[in-house]
């Protein structure tokens, strides 16, 4: 039994190392992280004494999983890429497993001793991904694959532009919240954290992901608010001014100087609107359980043709909206469970310490804001969000428990 517990701790550490490189370096490491975490969970359960208690939000997330399974079963004959569609249910399940493992093993010595090198490796991945992306786009050379070419105009790190941009914004919120509290973590190298924030910020700007920028601008004031309330109000006003300026420029015809200043009537925006319309029509046709997990993109072409929606050439893509995508794929049952999960998670964070509010509450706000413009729950960004959900139930406040 004791050997099982020891191996569980070691595998959890291995999973965390895999995670530290999965977000910005290699999507294949997402699978390694998930597999190691599941095995660690099974060994911990076998060793005995593992509390399976979930927070209220965890039960709502489990309900969302069941809603996806129900949708998959009822739509099974029509499901496209069945194994892939149903396999995506693993992301929230791994998040729940993470909650249980972190709650039970957070105080173990071996885990405490491994956190700092894992964290530094994660910070290093942020810096390296930015440098690699900049060299690839602006010098036309892929250092990783050792080949030259035309790699577009937007930095995407080692992954694609959208995953990199939105992932960078989420991590910037976490690191910014942490940077306001570095006096409480004297063992951390603050210069390394500042360095990672700098490169993460450069990467985000050069990825030109507008929804990620909006989510970041909405999240930062919350961090500052729980540090110094009056400063939070000032930052909120500044963020509102920047967002307002972007909106005014877009409504007045935009500018070719940057994607951040694109016109409201640009093809990028009208395409998104056509995807929103497709998702809404899909929901109205299948209001209870939806089309099935990750199925909307296979129906977009048919929906656009039948309802004569614009941009019929833009098919086989998701809705670019977390909430409409959830409605279309899992119906009202899945949507209610999803909203209850994210709302209850926000409430649980709000009831915790100010440190937790500074680090995790901006992530929830980011999901609500940026989720209006992109399907965040895919591959690395999905892994990152559910990992942060798990981590939010670890007591990280040094004044309460040193981890």
pLDDT per position as a tens digit, 44-64: 888 777 888 899 999 999 999
- Give the global pTM: 0.94
The answer to whether 37 and 45 are in contact (CB under 8 A) is no
Least confident of 64-68, 111-115, 198-202: 111-115
- Asked if pLDDT for residue 400 goes beyond 60, the answer is no
The answer to whether 188 and 119 are in contact (CB under 8 A) is yes
CA distance 362 to 135: 31
- Asked if pLDDT for residue 399 goes beyond 60, the answer is no
Task: Tell me what pLDDT residue 403 has.
Answer: 40
* 204 token code pair: 């985000």
Q: How confident is the model at residue 402 (pLDDT cuts 50, 70, 90)?
A: very low
- Asked if pLDDT for residue 298 goes beyond 90, the answer is yes
Cα dihedral sign for 331, 336, 342, 343? positive
The answer to whether 150 and 78 are in contact (CB under 8 A) is no
- Asked if pLDDT for residue 210 goes beyond 60, the answer is yes
pLDDT digits (tens, 9 = 90+) for 314-326: 887 889 999 999 9
Task: Tell me what pLDDT residue 366 has.
Answer: 97
Strand ranges, E, within 158-206: none
Task: Tell me which DSSP letter residue 228 carries.
Answer: -
Task: Tell me what pLDDT residue 398 has.
Answer: 57
- Asked if pLDDT for residue 84 goes beyond 80, the answer is yes
Region 149-153 average pLDDT = 91
Task: Tell me what pLDDT residue 76 has.
Answer: 95
Region 320-335 average pLDDT = 97
Task: Tell me what pLDDT residue 49 has.
Answer: 72
| DSSP secondary structure letters along 108-160 | -HHHHHHHHHHHHHHHHHHHHHHHHHHHHHHS-EETTTTEE----SS--TTS-
């Amino acid at each position: 039994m004791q050997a099982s517990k020891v191996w569980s701790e070691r595998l959890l550490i291995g999973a965390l190392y895999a995670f530290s490189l999965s977000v910005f370096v290699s999507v294949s490491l997402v699978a390694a992280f998930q597999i190691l975490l599941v095995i660690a969970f099974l060994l911990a359960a076998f060793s005995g004494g593992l509390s399976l208690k979930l927070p209220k939000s965890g039960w709502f997330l489990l309900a969302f999983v069941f809603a996806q399974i129900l949708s998959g079963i009822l739509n099974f004959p029509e499901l496209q890429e069945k194994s892939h569609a149903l396999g995506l249910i693993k992301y929230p399940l791994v998040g729940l497993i993470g909650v249980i493992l972190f709650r039970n093993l957070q105080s173990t010595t071996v885990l405490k001793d491994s956190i700092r090198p894992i964290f530094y490796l994660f910070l290093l991945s942020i810096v390296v991904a930015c440098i690699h992306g900049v060299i690839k786009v602006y010098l036309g050379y892929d250092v990783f694959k050792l080949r030259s070419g035309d790699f577009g105009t937007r930095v995407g790190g080692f992954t694609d532009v959208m995953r990199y941009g939105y992932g960078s914004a989420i991590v910037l919120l976490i690191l910014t919240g942490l940077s306001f509290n570095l006096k409480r973590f004297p063992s951390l190298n603050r210069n390394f954290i500042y360095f990672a924030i700098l490169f993460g910020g450069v990467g985000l700007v050069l990825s030109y992901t507008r929804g990620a920028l909006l989510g970041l601008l909405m999240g930062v004031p919350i961090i500052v608010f729980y540090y110094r309330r009056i400063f939070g109000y000032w930052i909120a006003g500044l963020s509102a001014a920047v967002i307002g300026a972007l909106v005014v420029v877009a409504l007045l015809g935009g500018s070719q100087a940057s994607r951040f200043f694109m016109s409201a009537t640009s093809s990028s925006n009208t395409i998104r609107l056509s995807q929103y319309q497709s998702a809404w029509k899909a929901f109205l046709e299948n209001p209870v359980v939806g089309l099935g997990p990750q199925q909307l993109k296979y129906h977009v072409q048919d929906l656009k043709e039948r309802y004569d929606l614009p941009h019929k050439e833009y098919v086989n893509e998701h809705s670019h909206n977390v909430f409409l995508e959830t409605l279309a794929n899992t119906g009202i049952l899945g949507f209610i469970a999803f909203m209850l999960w994210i709302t209850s998670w926000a409430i649980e964070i709000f009831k915790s310490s100010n440190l937790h509010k500074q680090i995790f509450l901006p992530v929830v706000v980011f999901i609500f804001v940026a989720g209006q413009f992109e399907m965040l729950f895919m591959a690395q960004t999905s892994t990152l969000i559910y990992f942060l959900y798990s981590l939010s139930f670890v007591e990280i406040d040094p004044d309460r428990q040193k981890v």
